[in-house]
Copies of this chain bind each other. A is one copy, B any other.
Amino acid sequence: MRQIFGNRLGVQRLSPRAVGSAVFLAVMAIAGSSQAAATPSAMIEAPARKAHRVVGVVLYPGFEVLDVFGPVEMWANVPGMKVVMLAEHAGPVRSAQGVEVIATHDFATVGDIDVLMVPGGVGTFKALKDKPLLDFLRAQDQQVELMTSVCTGSAILAKAGLLHGHRATSNKAYFKLAEAQDDGVTWVRKARWVEDGKYITSSGVSAGTDMALGVVARLYGLDGARRLARSLEYQWSEDPNLDPFALP
């Protein structure tokens, strides 16, 4: 039992083959699935293009905690995805909820990132004027595999000019804030999350967790994402177009 817990929750760097086995073993323990006898090599539907990915989560003062930790819960439990918390300056960053989280890496030294995520929160208003942050996003945009956001994080991506000509969504209560950043974006009013090429933007707060599993599905296969969700007793809303909070 401990080994399973360790695999699912603790080990971040394994081979792609081990990605499947760790997640699946954990799920088998829960569901008693008839697929328990499947070999690990059969468990990955869509082989990862890369064995290891660095997932960079951008922290700024006033970020919303669930915007960050819904996706982190999902991604950090995929062996092969290494989650890194980063900010302009390394050290504690205070969230909108008051809780402080430590950024271990700063913009200048973090290096290349495969999947970047920008959260929302009340701090978005200041972040929209944060030149080092916007410059960092523009620089990373040149080489990331996926550029993602949760909630009002898409307003920041739009302000940086990254979403111009693309489809995107945002928090429904602050939709005008997103729209105001760039009217050359096709802002989607009904979507749990929107994927347009490498740009993946989610709706408000909780939608980010569903989006994060969408990223897992895209990179590692739908079955793996479903089983990861189940192992965390998470009822994944897996259709990005199903949106009970849609704007008219």
Chain B residues lying within 8 Å of A76, measured Cβ to Cβ, are 65, 97-99
- Among B102, B122, B233, point to the contact of A205 (Cβ < 8 A): B233
- Whether B12 contacts A98 by the Cβ 8 Å rule is yes
A46 at the interface (CB under 8 A from B): no
Chain B residues whose C-beta falls within 8 Å of the C-beta of A148 in the assembled complex: none
CA distance A18 to B239 in the complex (A): 36
Q: Does A64 contact B (CB under 8 A)?
A: yes
Residues of B near A9 (CB, < 8 A) are 62, 64, 96-97, 121-122
A135–B212 Cα distance when bound, in Å, is: 38
Count of chain A residues with a beta carbon within 8 Å of a chain B beta carbon: 58
Q: How far is the CB of A177 from chain B (nearest CB, A)?
A: 7
Of the candidate stretches A66-74, A108-116, A159-167, A214-222, the one touching chain B is: A66-74
> Taking A66-B70, A204-B233, A230-B245 as contacts, is the C-beta distance between A173 and B30 under 8 angstroms?
yes
| Per-residue interface assignment for chain A, residues 164 to 177, with 1 indicating a CB less than 8 Å from any chain B CB and 0 otherwise | 00000001111011
In whole angstroms, how far apart are the Cα atoms of A212 and B234 in the complex?
Answer: 15
Interface residues of A (CB under 8 A from B): 1-2, 4-6, 9-10, 12, 26, 29-30, 32, 62, 64-66, 68-70, 72-73, 76-77, 83, 85, 92, 96-102, 104, 121-122, 125, 171-174, 176-177, 203-207, 230-235, 237, 244-245, 248
A-B residue pairs, 7 tightest by C-beta: A76-B97, A69-B69, A66-B73, A204-B233, A206-B234, A100-B102, A205-B232
List 18 A-B residue pairs with CB atoms under 8 Å apart, sorted by A's residue number.
Answer: A1-B177, A5-B174, A9-B97, A9-B122, A30-B172, A32-B248, A65-B73, A66-B70, A69-B69, A72-B97, A72-B99, A76-B99, A83-B97, A101-B101, A102-B102, A171-B233, A206-B234, A233-B245
